[in-house]
Structure 1
Amino acid sequence: MTTRSAACASGFARASTYEGWCGRWHYNEHGVIVYDAERDDGEHVGAVTLSNPETVERLPPMEPIEEVRVADIAPSPYTHRSMDDAAHEKFVKLTRERGHLLTYPTVRPVAEEQREHDRAYEVVAGHRRFETAQRADLETIAVRVADLDAWEAVERFVDDHVAIQGGDERHMYGQEEIDRMLARLREDWADDRLREIEVFAPYLEEKLASARSEAMRQGYLADGRGD
């Protein structure tokens, strides 16, 4: 298990503090690799090698990092993103050559009686990295293990994939992907429950309004009420 830490690095235009998971120490080179690193200005920088850090402080782990077999992990049932682009193929090639991922997907343990699959874990965040690990034929990967139930995983998934109004839409789902995700969610969860996720409410209401309009057009509904 790797250790979450903060490292203050010198030798740059200004000293910066990076917080992440220390996976490797290079004693001879007086350096450390910090994975899933976030700089003190809030920017996520992925993996960073810090040479001659001024200080390295061990922090309490937020969620444990564990080595898990790729074959024991299933994707979320709600993921619908295409990963056939050239940039992803390059990422797969580099990962295969490197032999490991630079940042950690987040997974949750799933009890056997609650599974829709035969895997012990399910991806919560990081499907692109998980898909990369599969295509790169990695046998094991380091993952962040989050103790989440099925509904908490849904809330986290939507938060990671649906942009708030006026928010940053980079890396978020487009309308077609949101439609497919919403259709799958409605198979598992009641509309009233899904309305609890504030960012999702406008998309859900649009779908329900469209369904009501179509039902009225077909003659199944009159004035919004059943015949």
Structure 2
Amino acid sequence: MLRSGLAALTVALAVGAAWYALRPALRADPAPGPVPRLAHSLPYGLFGLAAGTLATLAGRQDPYAVIVLTLSMGPAEWLLYRYRGLAVAALRASASPAGFRLRAARALLVCVAAYLAPIAASTPLIDTPPAQLLALGAVLWTALLLQAFGVAWSSAALCLGAAATATALPHVSSLPAATAQLAGCTAAASALLAAAVRHLGRPTAHA
């Protein structure tokens, strides 16, 4: 009963906070121009589905893993903002495209490490293997970063692939669920980081 009440209270507070934040936009006149097509938001919904699936699978193995990931979303949002600042500073400090690519990649690695460090510090307190939780965290944060820069479809597809792998492998093979999720998230995290280095290493991505 207490757990259900806390969940309902959390949802109510989230809805209230969203309504409060959106009040000015709801009162303002619509922006001129055509209404964005619903299909443009589809990859973001698919990413949410994939992220929810991965978090659910992790929670079935260890509920405390979901708590760690939930608490990590605060630093995640700040680091997304911080990366933008670091990338703009790198753009101003670079005299060549190669120099900017190097600085942008370094900023990316710094932000990924800063996000994963608290998650790694929490792993002794929970039952989830560190590699599994870190791989999942890397997938979620890097996908959010790419989506913030408009790279929506590829990040959603990679996250869906990780979710499908983690869901299907235990049913079609002898792999345990934890190993299946580790395999799917490690592959997706590697591909997402490679995509981030390639896309965010272009100065035009930060214009």
TM-score, length-scaled by structure 1:
0.18
Task: Decide which structure has greater strand share.
Answer: 1
Is the radius of gyration larger for structure 1 or structure 2? 1
